[in-house]
Structures are given as structure tokens and as C-alpha cells.
Amino acid sequence: MKKIIWFAGIALALALVTGCFAPDGNVYLSFDWTYAPEWFGTDDPNLPDTIWRNVEYPTEEGSWYFEYYHDESHWRRWIAYTLTAHDGYLPYTPGEDARFELFLHAFSDPVLIQWQSMSGTVEGQPDSVGASASAVHAGDGRIQTYEQTMTSAGWTLSVAGGVIEPGDR
């Protein structure tokens, strides 16, 4: 009986050591655009007040909201998205880093992409965008135009987005 308890204790200790201490990978978010937005607003506290093109910002797992616009003649666009880290695996091996890019289109919905490497740069556009002083989730004029959830290779990507009517700026 003592041998069974001893082996069970060792098995439990090994399970805890190898299974619980494998950290998830880090989560990074970068931005790109064809035409630089005028401003942006987000509820992700990890993002700086100025975002630069093709720079990976360390962030965290979670569900976040982001909105932006390009100039007064275009609709303001929004996206709600969920970032998920890759799980660590046995023994003590951290998960791969999860790299996401938010492409801020001027004339269509923004796109959230999961990359494992950085994308190239586009010449001739401003390299940064400053954050808005106005509140995020500003008006009741939000219109959802899409929603999608994709699961592939052990990760799930969830996004929803749309526009905000011009009168609700």
C-alpha cells in the first residue's frame, strides 16, 4: 500500500511540474495601413498613444475594442477582437509567440490577421498615428457589418466589426 501511495505521489508531482509550469507564449499586435488613419481609440491598455506601422507591441490575451477614422468624409470604423496566446507544452516549454496584425483599411472593414513573422513595409505613408482624446465606444451609431470566428492549428481568432454613422462622431 505504501508503494502505491508513493508512486501516486510521484506521478502527481510530475504532472504538476510538467503540466502546470509550461508558460503560454507572448502575444504581440502590429498595425499596418494603406492610408494612414487620422486617429484611433482602443480599450487595450497595453497599446501606446502613438502606433507605428509594422512595429510589434507586446499585449495580452483578451478581448479588445479598436476604432479609427481616416478623415471627416469617411465613416469611422470599429473592430472587436480576441487575442489568444499559444499554450505551453511539456516539459517547461513555453508556447510559440502569437503575432497579430490589425490592418486599418480606409474604404473597407479592418482585418485582423495572425502572422508568425513581420510583414513588409509600404513606401510613402506616415509611419505613426496618434491616439484620440475622445472616448472609445463613443456613440449609439455603431453598425456591425461582420463577425467571424476561425479555429486553426490550435488557436482561435474571433473578430466583429463595422462602422459608426458619420453623425455620431
| Structural domain spans, the chain | 23-168
> What are the tens digits of pLDDT across the range 21-76?
677 778 899 999 988 888 899 999 999 999 999 999 999 988 999 999 887 556 78
Number of CB atoms found within 10 A of residue 162's CB: 19
> What are the tens digits of pLDDT across the range 65-78?
999 988 755 678 88
* In contact, 63 and 42? CB cutoff 8 Å: no
> What are the tens digits of pLDDT across the range 110-139?
888 877 533 333 344 444 444 444 445 545
Q: What is the pTM of this model?
A: 0.67
The dihedrals phi and psi of 142, each to the nearest 5 degrees, come to -70, 130
